[in-house]
C-alpha cells in the first residue's frame, strides 16, 4: 500500500510539473502567423527555465522564463502557405505543440458592438445574408478567427484568453461579422490564409483602449481616477481594456489594424475624438513594433442617437463622423471606409445595422490598396475637396471620383445655409470637369447667398451619392470660397466652419 501511495504521489508531481510549460492561450492549434516576419511565441514555464521553440519550416528560437514563469521567444516565418505547420516548445522533459498552423496575413480588429457583432447576429440584431454565408463558410480554408475574452485590468497583462477557430458552418456564427467578411474576401483576393484577432467590447468608448502614458496629454478631459472607481461603468474606465486585452494581444505579429468604434463617444469627448484616435493609433503601432502598419477606420453608420426626431435635434453624431475623417489626415497610412449608404430606412433606431457584408468587403478593398500594392484599385471613398460659391450657386469638387458619378436622379442630403447658419435642403446636379474632376452644383431657393454647405450632416441621413466605384461620399460640412477664374485643385479637405 505504501508503494502504491508513493507511486501515486510521483505521478501527481509529474502531472503538475508537465503543466508548467504551456503556450499563451492566444497561441495554439489552428492559429495563423504573419508571413515573412519575426513573430513572438510566448507562454509559461517553471521560473528561470530555458525554453526552446522549433517549427516545421525550420525556424527556431529560445527564451528563459522570468520569476513569474513568463517567457517570450521569437522565430522567423516564411512566405504564406496553406500547408499545415507545427510549432513546438520544449523545456527540459516537457513539450507542447501547436498543430494545423497556417502562415499568411493577420489583422487586429477592435472597437465596440458593431465590430463585436457576430455573423450569426443576436437578439434583435440580424446580419443581412448570414444564413448563406454561414452555410458556405467552409469554402474559406485559410480563414481563422480568434475572439479575445473581455478582460479589464489596471496594469498591462501578460496574457489573455482566446481560441483560434477554423471557418466552417459550426464556428462561423460566432465570428465577428465584419471581421469574417473582411478576412474571407481578403483570403480569396490574395490567395493566402488570413487570420483575424477580434478584441472588441460593446459600449466601450475610446479611452479604455488607451494606455496610461498616452492619456497624460489629455488630463483636462480624462479623469484617470475613474479607472479605480467602482461606481464608473467599465465601458468608461480609462486604460482598462488596453491593459487587459490590447497589451497582451500586441505581442502577436499583425499586418494591419481595423477600428470600428465611436458610438459611445458621440456624447462624450466627441470634439477631441480625432486627437484621441491619433494618439491611440501611435501607441498601438509602437506596441506591435511593426512600423506604420495600415490603420483602417469604419465610419459610424446613420443612427438617430437621441429623441427620435430624425436627427434634427442634435449634430454630435455627424461631428463624430467628421472627427473620424479628420483623423485620417493626422494618422499616417490610415484610411476610412464610408458606410452612410448601407443603413436601411427602417433602421433609424437600430445602432447595429444589418448590412455588414459591404463593410467587410470595402475594408478588404482598402487593405489591398494600402497594404498589398494594388495602387490602381479605386478603393477610396470620394470626399469633398473644396466648395466654391458663384452668386446663388455652390459647386463642390471631390477627390477620389476620377471616373465621375453613378447615375442618380434623386440625390439627397445636400444643404446650404446663409450667414445666419440656418440650413435648407439643396437641389443637386452632378457634373465632371476635365481639369478639376467630379463636382456637384447646388442651389436652394431659401438661400440666395450661400455661405455654408454640408452633406449628410445629420444623425440619421442615408447617403445616395456614389462615385463610379460604387463607394459613397464621406459626409462633410464646409464654408464656401469665392469662385476663382480658374478653379484649382487645392490639397486637403475643405475648411470647416467653426460654429456651424
pLDDT band at residue 434 under the 50/70/90 scheme: confident
Based on its alpha-carbon atoms, the radius of gyration of the chain, rounded to whole angstroms, reads 26
Show the cell assigned to 92. 527540459
pLDDT band at residue 408 under the 50/70/90 scheme: low
> Which string of DSSP letters, residue by residue, matches 9-63?
HHHHHHHHHHTS-EE-TTSSTT-EEETTSEEEEEEE-STT-EEEEEETTS-EEEE
Q: How far apart are CA 114 and CA 132, in angstroms?
A: 20
Among 144-153, 188-197, 320-329, 426-435, the minimum mean pLDDT is found in 426-435
Q: What is the average pLDDT across 106-115?
A: 98
**How many CB atoms are located within 10 Å of the residue 320 CB?**
24
Domains of the chain plus CATH, in order, are: 20-103 (2.60.40.2550), 106-371 (3.40.50.1110), 383-482 (2.60.40)
pLDDT band at residue 407 under the 50/70/90 scheme: confident
pLDDT band at residue 485 under the 50/70/90 scheme: confident
> What's the pLDDT score for residue 262?
97
Q: What's the pLDDT tens digit per position in 346-403?
A: 999 999 999 999 999 999 999 999 999 999 999 999 999 999 999 999 999 999 999 9
> What's the pLDDT score for residue 78?
98
pLDDT band at residue 314 under the 50/70/90 scheme: low
Q: pLDDT over 90 for what percent of the chain? A: 87
pTM to 2 decimals? Answer: 0.93
> What's the pLDDT score for residue 269?
95
Question: Tell me, what DSSP letter sits at residue 149?
Answer: P
Higher local confidence (pLDDT), 428 or 407 = 428
Dihedral of alpha carbons 357, 359, 362, 363, sign: negative
pLDDT at 313 over 80: no
> What's the pLDDT score for residue 491?
46
Q: How far apart are CA 198 and CA 289, in angstroms?
A: 19
> What's the pLDDT score for residue 6?
47
Q: Which of 496, 390, 405, 498 is nearest to 442 (CA)?
A: 390
pLDDT at 475 over 60: yes
The answer to whether the CB of 285 falls within 8 A of the CB of 291 is yes
Q: What is the average pLDDT across 110-139?
A: 96
pLDDT at 106 over 90: yes
> What's the pLDDT score for residue 212?
98
b/e map of 279-316 (b: 16 or more CB within 10 Å)? Answer: bbbbbbbebbeeeebbbbbbbbbbbbbeeeeebeebbb
Show the cell assigned to 492. 486637403
Q: Which of 321, 465, 498, 452 is nearest to 398 (CA)?
A: 465
The answer to whether the CB of 39 falls within 8 A of the CB of 74 is yes
Higher local confidence (pLDDT), 483 or 283 = 283
pLDDT band at residue 8 under the 50/70/90 scheme: very low
pLDDT at 486 over 90: no
When the pLDDT of each residue in the chain is averaged and rounded to a whole number, the result is 92
Q: How far apart are CA 86 and CA 31, in angstroms?
A: 10
Q: pLDDT over 70 for what percent of the chain? A: 91
Largest CA distance in the chain: 104
Show the cell assigned to 223. 479623469
Strand-strand pairing, 295-298 and 427-433: unpaired
Alpha-helical regions (H) of 350-467: 357-371
pLDDT at 495 over 60: no
Q: Which of 377, 109, 401 is nearest to 245 (CA)?
A: 109
Among 100-109, 289-298, 432-441, the minimum mean pLDDT is found in 432-441
Q: What's the pLDDT tens digit per position in 51-97?
A: 999 999 999 999 999 999 999 999 999 999 999 999 999 999 999 99
> What's the pLDDT score for residue 497?
41
Higher local confidence (pLDDT), 368 or 312 = 368
> Which string of DSSP letters, residue by residue, matches 372-391?
SS-TTS--SPPEEEEEEEET
Q: What is the average pLDDT across 246-269?
A: 97
b/e map of 67-85 (b: 16 or more CB within 10 Å)? Answer: eebbbbbbbebeebbeeeb
Amino acid at each position: 500500500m505504501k508503494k502504491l501511495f508513493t507511486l501515486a504521489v510521483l505521478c501527481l508531481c509529474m502531472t503538475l510539473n508537465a503543466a508548467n510549460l504551456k503556450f499563451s492561450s492566444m497561441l495554439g492549434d489552428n492559429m495563423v502567423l504573419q508571413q515573412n516576419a519575426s513573430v513572438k511565441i510566448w507562454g509559461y514555464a517553471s521560473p528561470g527555465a530555458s525554453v526552446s521553440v522549433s517549427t516545421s519550416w525550420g525556424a527556431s528560437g529560445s527564451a528563459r522564463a522570468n520569476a513569474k514563469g513568463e517567457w517570450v521567444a521569437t522565430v522567423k516565418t516564411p512566405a504564406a502557405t496553406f500547408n499545415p505547420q507545427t510549432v513546438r516548445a520544449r523545456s527540459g522533459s516537457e513539450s507542447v505543440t501547436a498543430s494545423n498552423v497556417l502562415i499568411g496575413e493577420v489583422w487586429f480588429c477592435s472597437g465596440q458592438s458593431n465590430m463585436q457583432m457576430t455573423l450569426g447576429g443576436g437578439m434583435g440584431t440580424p446580419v443581412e445574408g448570414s444564413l448563406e454565408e454561414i452555410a458556405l463558410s467552409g469554402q474559406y480554408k485559410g480563414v481563422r478567427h480568434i475572439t479575445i475574452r473581455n478582460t479589464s485590468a489596471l496594469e498591462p497583462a501578460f496574457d489573455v484568453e482566446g481560441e483560434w477557430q477554423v471557418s466552417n458552418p459550426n464556428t462561423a456564427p460566432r465570428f465577428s461579422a465584419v471581421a469574417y467578411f473582411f478576412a474571407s474576401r481578403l483570403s480569396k483576393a490574395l490567395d493566402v490564409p488570413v487570420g483575424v484577432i477580434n478584441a472588441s467590447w460593446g459600449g466601450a468608448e475610446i479611452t479604455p483602449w488607451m494606455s496610461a502614458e498616452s492619456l497624460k496629454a489629455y488630463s483636462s478631459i480624462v479623469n484617470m481616477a475613474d479607472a479605480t472607481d467602482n461606481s464608473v461603468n467599465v465601458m468608461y474606465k480609462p486604460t482598462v481594456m488596453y491593459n487587459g486585452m490590447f497589451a497582451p494581444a500586441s505581442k502577436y505579429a499583425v499586418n494591419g489594424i481595423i477600428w470600428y468604434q465611436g458610438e459611445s463617444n458621440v456624447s462624450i469627448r466627441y470634439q477631441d475624438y480625432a486627437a484621441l484616435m491619433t494618439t491611440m493609433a501611435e501607441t498601438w503601432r509602437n506596441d506591435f513594433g511593426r512600423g506604420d502598419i495600415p490603420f483602417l477606420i469604419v465610419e459610424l453608420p446613420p443612427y438617430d442617437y437621441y429623441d427620435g426626431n430624425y436627427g434634427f435635434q442634435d449634430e454630435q453624431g455627424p461631428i463624430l463622423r467628421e472627427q473620424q475623417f479628420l483623423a485620417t489626415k493626422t494618422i499616417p497610412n490610415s484610411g476610412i471606409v464610408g458606410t452612410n449608404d448601407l443603413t436601411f430606412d427602417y433602421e433609424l433606431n437600430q445602432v447595429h445595422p444589418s448590412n455588414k457584408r459591404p463593410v467587410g468587403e470595402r475594408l478588404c478593398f482598402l487593405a489591398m490598396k494600402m497594404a498589398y500594392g494594388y495602387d490602381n484599385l479605386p478603393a477610396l471613398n470620394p470626399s469633398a475637396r473644396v466648395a466654391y460659391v458663384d452668386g446663388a450657386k455652390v459647386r463642390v469638387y471631390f477627390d477620389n471620383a476620377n471616373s465621375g458619378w453613378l447615375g442618380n436622379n434623386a440625390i439627397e442630403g445636400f444643404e446650404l445655409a446663409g450667414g445666419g447658419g440656418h440650413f435648407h435642403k439643396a437641389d443637386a446636379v452632378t457634373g465632371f470637369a476635365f481639369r478639376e474632376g467630379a463636382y456637384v452644383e447646388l442651389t436652394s431657393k431659401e438661400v440666395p447667398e450661400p455661405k455654408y454647405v454640408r452633406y449628410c450632416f445629420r444623425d440619421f441621413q442615408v447617403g445616395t451619392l456614389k462615385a463610379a466605384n460604387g463607394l459613397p461620399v464621406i459626409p462633410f460640412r464646409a464654408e464656401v470660397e469665392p469662385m476663382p477664374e480658374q478653379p484649382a485643385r487645392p490639397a486637403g479637405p475643405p475648411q470647416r466652419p467653426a460654429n456651424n
